[in-house]
Amino acid sequence: MKPSTSGLLLVLMCCPLLGLVHSASSSNKASDNGHAHLGDADPDRCMRHHFVETITHPIYKCNSKMVLLARCEGHCSHTTRSDPLISFSSVLKQPFKSTCSCCRPHTSKLKAVRLRCTGGTRITATYRYILACNCEECS
């Protein structure tokens, strides 16, 4: 079933940031920082997903702002390993070293949003915007 373009237009008029999410996720399927993917063979692989969040101050009365954020989500290799550790002590607190991989941010950049509060004051909220995700060793 093909979505109607008029429905998309209505959504874009009501919430312009959703248009950014749609266009960013569409372009994300074709490439990720210029690297071509091997098709969509594994749609659940570790990758960046966009979403819209409303930032509000928890105490002060400020105007809220909607921002485009990203998170890392998906599957990495199902292979995990536990190797025995060699010790010269009679007590082994942790006798094995386990390795596995997790979907984590690889690169990100710091962003800031200024909220206008009552009395004319401005408060800056900062966050990390994820640029790319990778499967990396879990800690």
Residue 106 belongs to domain spanning: 47-84+96-137
Q: Is residue 28 part of a domain?
A: no
Q: Is residue 114 part of a domain?
A: yes
Ranges 6-10, 77-81, 96-100, 133-137: which has the least confidence? 6-10
Q: Is residue 19 part of a domain?
A: no
Q: Is residue 13 part of a domain?
A: no
Number of domains in the chain: 1
**Residue-wise pLDDT tens digits, 94-107:** 778 888 889 999 99
pTM score of the predicted model: 0.60
Q: Is residue 132 part of a domain?
A: yes
Q: Is residue 110 part of a domain?
A: yes
CATH number for 102: 2.10.90.10
Q: Cα dihedral sign for 21, 26, 32, 33? A: negative
**Residue-wise pLDDT tens digits, 34-47:** 343 444 567 788 99
Please, which residues bridge with residue 107 across strands? 132
Q: Is residue 100 part of a domain?
A: yes
Token digits of residue 7: 């429905």
Q: Report the percent of the chain where pLDDT is more than 90.
A: 43
Given pLDDT bands bounded at 50, 70 and 90, which one contains residue 31?
A: very low
Residues 6 or more apart in contact with residue 92 via CB below 8 angstroms: 85
φ and ψ of 71, to 5 deg? -135, 160
- What's the whole-number average pLDDT of the chain? 75
Query: 66-92: b or e for each residue (b if 16 or more CB lie within 10 Å)?
Result: ebebbebeeebeeeeeeeeeeeeeeee
Q: Is residue 59 part of a domain?
A: yes
